[in-house]
Amino acid sequence: MNFWNGIDRLRGMTGQRITDLLGDAERNASLRAQAGPFLFDLSKTSLTQEALDLLLELAADVPSRRNAMFAGQRINTTEDRAVLHTALRGTEPVPVDGEDVMPGVRETLDRMRAFAEDVRDGTFRGKGGAITDVVNIGIGGSDLGPAMATLALAPWHDGPRCHFVSNVDGADWAETAKGLDPATTLVIVASKTFTTIETLTNARTARHWMAQAVPDPGTQFAALSSAEDKTTDFGIDPTRVFGFEDWVGGRYSVWGPIGLSLMIAVGPDAFDAFLRGAREMDDHFRTAPLARNLPVLLALQGIWHNQVCGYPTRAILPYDNRLARLPAYLQQLEMESNGKAVTLAGDPLPGPAGPVVWGEPGTNGQHAFYQLIHQGKTPVPCEFMVAARGQEPELDHHHRLLIANCLAQSEALLKGRSHAEARAIIADRFSGEELERQAAHRVFPGDRPSTTLIYPALTPEVLGGILALYEHRVFVEGVMLGINSFDQWGVELGKELATSLGPLVEGEDASAKDASTQALLGQLLDWRA
């Protein structure tokens, strides 16, 4: 069946109350699945067994497309590239154009390990002695993955301090550099293309800063890039350049060289465990039946909520403070991958692809935007996640509260509060019309969807599994929508225009620009004068 005809049929299956559906034990069991250390529950959604069956039918192409991806076929057809970030954490041979890519992957990983060990044990030294600080300069996928994962795995962090500079705003570099000694700092320039203006601007500033204390600053630089010629031009010795192929997309790149700062922070063994956790999720994605397959189920509820129910956003709500950067990481992963408007064939998509993804860790979000989640007009499907145990056994009472809050939020979204219940709560304080008015403000519509992912503890393996789960979710949604999840042409126009505006900010004639831009630029230049 055509996907969009299926979506039309599914629209006729909406509207059932979640609380009623939860009375069906068989349906609940279909909407709860396990893989490795994860249990994923999507029974608190309005998905019925019938709707799930139809969604699974619409996912019929997923196994063949998935196999094509893992086999190294060029499924990124607008850039004519294979999509093989899974090879970075894989063990099996993968041929691209008849040549196995795995020996190259292993060699780079071995070089990364050796370098990371050298930095960690002081064999690699700065002008002023052992490296105390590492600054990763990169943006987008060359920043979000290692920054997010380094924070997530803080309990494993026993290497030098790690800092992440991404924004071209000089404030980012300046605030980071404040506490650093250039003589004991290693700068890692992370850029697949080595052309990204933000990264190169920050890298040149860092090199200038380093030169104050290190006569040959390039000796305290490393690069993570596919463009070795450009890294050499920049002055970085090839022995400290870690390359990767065009079949690794930026937002999928934390598993290889882009993860070097993470590896230096937590050590090669913990990094291996991170890769192993992702590989286990890959194996699950490749072998579990679609109806028991976590990434597939996560994707099907995504399609159900966005394309079928028409909810325009989804919230990522980790009840884990160390996953504070996960929503931002998943924003790039999901929105850069599936924020598209045409099919693989270039035809306009008949419906939306890719919701707005946002979020914050619980419990902080509860005291900020949960008001809208509970009582706003538009439902926001919430993706909760929480560990059974925290990393601070001595603070387990905090963790018990964290779990209670996480479960309480999904329960509150589900149950809501009726007008009669609201009235009963305040009946001793108000009466008559005022009671009705006050009660109306205390009504929660309820019947709001959420999913919950639980795991024993946030370890390197579990983090790897969570990221791979979401990567494959994006893939499944992309296949079902018939789009290319692996290009990002939408970021190009802004980059081109920024280049053209550069000279105008220097004062060149702006008359070719639109009236709004001219007026804004004119005022900015006045204030700069």
Instruction: Kindly tell me which residue out of 81, 120, 192, 399 binds ligand F6P, with binding defined by CB under 6 A.
Output: 192
DSSP string, 295-355: HHHHHHHHHIIIIIT---EEEEEEE-GGGTTHHHHHHIIIIIHH--SB-TTSPBPSS--S-
Q: Is 250 in the site for ligand F6P (CB under 6 A)?
A: yes
488 binds ligand F6P (CB under 6 A): yes
CB 491, min distance to ligand F6P, A: 4
Closest to 453 in 3D by CA, of 31, 89, 62 = 31
Given the complex with ligand F6P, which of 133 and 336 has the nearer CB atom?
336
Asked if residue 139 lies in contact with residue 199, where contact means CB atoms within 8 angstroms, the answer is yes
Which residue has the closest beta carbon to ligand F6P? 250
Residues 441/435, Cβ–Cβ less than 8 Å: no
- In degrees and rounded to multiples of 5, residue 309 shows phi and psi of -80, -20
The dihedral formed by the CA atoms of 510, 513, 515 and 516, expressed in degrees to the nearest 10: -100
Q: Looking at beta carbons only, is 242 or 384 nearer to ligand F6P?
A: 242
How many other C-beta atoms can be found within 10 angstroms of the C-beta atom of residue 74?
14
Which segments within 174-280 are labelled E, that is strand? 185-190, 221-224, 241-242
The answer to whether 367 is a known catalytic residue is yes
| Residue 210 CB-density burial (10 A; 0-12 exposed, 13-18 middle, 19+ buried) | buried
Exactly one of 336, 360, 383, 471 is catalytic; name it. 336
| Among 15, 7, 83, residue whose Cα is nearest residue 302 | 7
Which among 208, 398, 419, 495 is annotated as catalytic? 495
CB of 487 to ligand F6P, least distance (A): 9
CA 61 to chain centre: 25
Binding-residue pattern over the window 147 to 186 for ligand F6P, x denoting contact by CB under 6 A = ----------------------------------------
Phi, psi of 382 (to 5 degrees): -110, 130
x/- track of binding to ligand F6P for residues 125-154 (CB under 6 A) = --------------xxxx------------
Is residue 196 near ligand F6P by the rule CB under 6 A? Answer: yes
CB of 226 to ligand F6P, least distance (A): 8
Pairing of strands 95-96, 99-100: antiparallel
Candidates 367, 392, 398, 411; catalytic one: 367
CB closer to ligand F6P, 139 vs 469: 139
- Strands of the sheet containing 313-319, edge to edge, are 32-35, 38-41, 450-455, 382-387, 313-319, 356-359
With vertex at residue 333, the alpha carbon angle to CA 359 and CA 165, rounded to the nearest 5 degrees, is 80
Residue 485 beta carbon to ligand F6P: minimum distance, rounded to whole angstroms: 12
| 496 catalytically annotated | no
Name the minimum Å distance from CB 250 to ligand F6P. Answer: 2
Query: Helices then strands (H, E): number in the chain?
Result: 22, 15
What is the nearest approach in angstroms of ligand F6P to the Cβ of residue 410? 32
Report, in Å, the least distance between residue 251 CB and ligand F6P: 5
Cis peptide upstream of residue 378 (ω within 30 degrees of 0): no
Per DSSP, helices labelled H in 348-457 are 370-375, 396-415, 419-426, 432-441
Q: By CB under 6 A, is residue 484 in contact with ligand F6P?
A: no
Candidates 83-91, 190-198, 403-411, 458-466 — which segment interacts with ligand F6P by CB under 6 A? 190-198
Cβ nearer to ligand F6P, comparing 400 with 495: 495
For the bound state, the minimum distance from the C-beta of residue 301 to ligand F6P, rounded and expressed in Å, comes to 26
DSSP characters over 301-316 = HHHIIIIIT---EEEE
CB-nearer residue toward ligand F6P: 163 or 192 = 192
Among positions 89, 240, 251, 322, the unique one binding ligand F6P when judged by CB under 6 A: 251
| 178 given a catalytic annotation | no
Instruction: Give the interface segment with ligand F6P, choosing from 193-201, 277-285, 314-322, 353-361 (CB under 6 A).
Output: 193-201
The span of 55-63, 188-196, 279-287, 510-518 binding ligand F6P (CB under 6 A) equals: 188-196
Minimum CB distance to ligand F6P, residue 446 (Å): 39
Q: What are phi and psi of 142, to 5 degrees?
A: -90, 5
* Per CB under 6 A, 206 contacts ligand F6P: no
Selected binder of ligand F6P within 34, 193, 201, 205 (CB under 6 A): 193
Nearest-angstrom CA–CA distance, 524 and 292:
56
Spatial strand order of the sheet with 221-224 comes to 161-165, 133-137, 185-190, 221-224, 241-242
Strands 241-242 and 221-224: parallel
Question: Number of residues in contact with ligand F6P, rule: CB under 6 A?
Answer: 14
Site track for ligand F6P across 320-339, x = CB under 6 A = ----------------x---
Q: Which residues bind ligand F6P (CB under 6 A)?
A: 139-142, 191-193, 196, 199, 250-251, 336, 488, 491
Residues assigned a catalytic role: 336, 367, 495
